[in-house]
Amino acid sequence: MWTCGLSREVERYLDDAVRFSSRQGRSIRVAHTLVTCATAAAVLNELGVPAELEAAYRYVNVYNPACPLVFNKLQQRWTCELALAQHPVWGINWAGAVLICQHMGGRVPFESEWECFASNDQPSRIYPWGDAPPTPVLANFGEYFGGTSRVCNFPPSDLGLYDLAGNLCEWCNDFYRPAGGQRSSFERVVKGGAWSKDERHLKVAASRGKWERLGTTTIGFRPVWDD
């Protein structure tokens, strides 16, 4: 894995990735958490991504007044509030997610891959933890917490992956195909449900599509690395 020039924040994140081999024999490493605000800011700074100055953002939706990432003009750096540093980052659009993952030597997963590691390769499993119905002890969903929560706050899956259900949905690489419809060339698949979404979105098999240009309050991302 290429790590030259990465900050300690990012190196720690790479070190904690979990190895996963599917029954098809494909082996990848999966980030144990969603990318946090601190990690996203570190990567954007390593990349030298400038402030979003245009009236339409390239990567970070700085136009949402609650956006956790802020560009500090004095320091010419991306920052986040200390209280949000270990929360998963939101407000990053699909291109931003791809950019950040690539800088860490990884990529956003495909939908089928995501379902595979979220279920620990058990296609009949309903939720990442098994078949028991969701509760606010298992995941952050349904507005029980009113916003994102720190990563690693809820029990991990049996693979050691956190927030596969709830907290934030996760960008995937695939274009979205709505039920009964044609594949969209605008929307990417998002998986996993989020803090404000209903429990049905927490199911491993549940998907929705989101216009890839938008950085929203309910979508984050988790890189994977090809071994």
Partner 1 sequence: MHTSYFRECDLSRWSAEDFDPRMLHLSLAPHWALRSFLVDLREYLLQSNSIRVIGFKETVLFGKLDWLKVFIPSLKILFLQRDPRAIVSSVLRSNLLSFWNYVHLVPPLFKAMHPDYVSRSRSVDEATRAAEIAAMSVVVRCEMARGAIQKFDHMELHLGALMRRPREQLEQIIEFLGVESDDGPLSFLRKRQLASRGGPYSSFRLPDDVERAWERHLTADQIRAIEDVLQCGLAD
Name the helix (H) or strand (E) containing 77: strand 77-80
Instruction: Closer to partner 1 by CB, 20 or 195: give it.
Output: 195
Contacts of partner 1 in 9-28 (CB under 8 A):
none
Using CB under 8 A as the binding rule, whether residue 213 contacts partner 1 is answered as: yes
CB 216 within 8 A of CB 91: yes
Using CB under 8 A as the binding rule, whether residue 63 contacts partner 1 is answered as: yes
**3-state DSSP assignment of residue 18:** strand
Give the Å distances, CA to CA, from 92 to 26, 41, 89, 140, 207: 29, 11, 7, 20, 19
Closest C-alpha to 179, from 213, 218, 206: 206
Instruction: Closer to partner 1 by CB, 54 or 131: give it.
Output: 54
Give the Å distances, CA to CA, from 90 to 19, 148, 160: 25, 9, 22
User: Contact region for partner 1 (CB under 8 A) — 17-25, 72-80, 117-125, 209-217?
Assistant: 209-217
Using CB under 8 A as the binding rule, whether residue 133 contacts partner 1 is answered as: no
Instruction: Closer to partner 1 by CB, 4 or 179: give it.
Output: 179
Q: Least separation, in Å, of the C-beta of 49 and partner 1?
A: 15
Instruction: Closer to partner 1 by CB, 2 or 211: give it.
Output: 211
Q: Rounded to an integer, what distance in angstroms lies between the CA atom of residue 88 and that of residue 154? A: 13
Instruction: Closer to partner 1 by CB, 58 or 77: give it.
Output: 58
Which residues of this protein are in contact with partner 1, per CB under 8 A? 54-58, 61, 63, 65, 142-147, 178-181, 184, 186, 196, 198, 211, 213-215
